[in-house]
Chains A and B, each alone.
Chain A
Amino acid sequence: MTRLVEVENLTKQFGNVRALDGVTFQVEVGEWIAIMGPSGSGKTTLINILGGLEAPTSGRAVVDGTDVAHLDEKGLTRFRAEKIGFVFQQFHLVSYLSALENVMLAQYFHSTTDEKEAREALRRVGLDDRLEHLPSRLSGGEQQRVAVARSLINQPKLLLADEPTGNLDEANEEIVINLFRELHAEGHTILMVTHDSSIGRLADRRIELAHGRLVKVNAAAWIS
């Protein structure tokens, strides 16, 4: 298998608080990794660093051959546009853009927009009848499916999902998780933060963090 993510002795300090403390692991292309742990354990900080939203204090975080620690602001912007797809717990859709336009927004910042492709992405997540709806007229599950379509539109190398089902009811949670299972089956590489151990069990491997340290991993994921 080909290595996509390589995290080595990663540390992140916020003032006196050490959010990440010497975390090391690797992810192969096509893997689904669940990042688990209690609140404040550093899960979100970890995927923020891997997504180029935060800079590490020390250590290496290499994604598809690019060490995000060495990128400047401009480099990070291109990195996020070209290599990362984000799915957030709060969906984070632009309220005044339709479902279709929210997907096209990611295309716009990546390169050029292709409405046909954006429609196809929404059809893929089962929203072909909600293209022109504003987020306020979509259910939570539908909003999250728009966010998934948006995260995939630029064919990112790595899909980062931060509690993607955290705000959903059971029925919508199942729809979204099935979507991730399909994406995984298609070969997408997924790093997903979750509190839900049943979702964690769906992943290829689980990484557990506590107080910024890697405390429990299955044998395949642990590289030290």
Chain B
Amino acid sequence: MFARLLWNLLRASRARLAVALVALISGAAVISALVNLDLDVERKLTQEFRTLGANIVVAPAYALAGSGASPMSPALMDESVVQTIEAMRTPAVIAVAPYLYVVARASVENSDLPVVVAGTWLDGIRRLEPAWKVTPGWIGSREERNLCLVGRNVARQLGLAPGKEIELRYAGNSIVETVAAVLEAGGPEDNQIFVNLPEAQGLLGSDKRIGLIQLSVEGSANQIESFANRLGQALPSLEVRPIRQIADAEGLLLDRIRLLIFTMVLLILVLTALCVLATMAALAMERREDVGLMKALGGSISRIVGLFLAEVGVLGAAGGLLGYLAGIALSRWIGERVFGAAITPRLDVLPLTVALTVGVALAGAMPLRLLGKVRPAVILRGD
């Protein structure tokens, strides 16, 4: 009989309850989307931050001891360190690239300038620095050894363009490189020339030596710190250091986004409860006569209000379930708009969304308490 009564109650007030249901679905959809976002935001944010370049640097200990990772430092290490790091590679490691910096002289026709030459894996830094704008495009293979990437400022000063040749000289050594592309990084890289690592080693005259290694590792600040510590233990003679500015900025942004999400969820819960409250207040007035009659028939107030609360609970559960489904679509849309990739829907958000929606619906059903004060004699008299 309980289920029969419940069904009839829901059917009888369907127009009024539909308003509350729409409010609950809308609230649940936004909550579900935001909670999905909250659970995925760290992963998305770290992916976003990975476009900012390396977040771990490995260098000889004395090279980093002073003023940070200076490319001007003459301290070098063996290139085989890269193999050690590659052996420790986890799926979180997006890119690894060795660097060797040389301050050389660059000559093109009548121009001659001192310039920082960075030797690296030209086909590998694309994953390390995906945000760089490279025109006409990245170099696909490191096998074409005499191709180079030229920073925008260097290209302007030396009148370089793709296809042109440039001579680089250092301490009696010289190499000739062909400009493959011009890069815009918005940083000091715009003043540098990027050549293949063996070319830079040849220019410096130090075969199989490198200055530092940059890594781009996905994960939270703690995960990056932890990976850096493991690297440090495996390479005790080297300095392994996470680039804190990026990790800290990431952590700060994450905290702010989470605070925003929490505040919005709270606000939506309150607004949804208010909407349900208004509907339930009207419903409670409508049902005074039924409640008076039920009391006269011997219905206890706990049993009568329990029936109405079950109705609200069903409404909340339905709102939560439908809202969760709508929230998946919403989170996909938010993810694509904000991060350029869909937020992965999580099934464990479903019970949370339903529980929150049922809780809000029950909180909004407070006016039903007034039914406890209904005096059947007064109601049945028609006063």
Residues of A within 8 A of B (CB): 44, 48, 51, 53-54, 73-74, 77-82, 84, 86, 88, 90, 92, 94-97, 101, 104-110, 113, 150, 154
Contacts and interface: CB of A to CB of B under 8 A. Distances in A.
B12 A95 contact: yes
A106 B381 contact: no
Shortest beta-carbon contacts, A-B, top 5: A81-B298, A96-B12, A109-B299, A53-B377, A113-B1
29 contacts: A48-B377, A53-B296, A74-B300, A77-B300, A77-B301, A80-B296, A80-B297, A81-B297, A81-B298, A81-B299, A92-B293, A96-B8, A96-B9, A96-B12, A97-B5, A101-B5, A101-B8, A104-B1, A105-B5, A105-B294, A105-B297, A107-B1, A108-B2, A108-B5, A109-B298, A109-B300, A110-B298, A113-B1, A150-B297
Chain A at the B interface: mostly helix, strand, loop or mixed? helix
Interface of B: 1-2, 4-5, 8-9, 11-12, 289-290, 293-301, 303, 375-377, 380-382
B297 A88 contact: no
A110 B299 CA distance: 8
Given A53-B377, A96-B9, A78 B298 contact: yes
Contacts of B375: 53
Contacts of A94: 290, 293-294
Contact of A82 (B2, B298, B301): B298
B12 A92 contact: no
Contact of B298 (A77, A96, A101): A77
A168 to B, nearest CB: 17
Contacts of A54: 377
Given A53-B376, A53-B380, A106 B298 contact: yes
Contacts of A110: 298
B297 to A, nearest CB: 5
A96 B296 CA distance: 18
A93 B115 CA distance: 95
Given A44-B381, A92-B380, A95-B12, A51 B5 contact: no
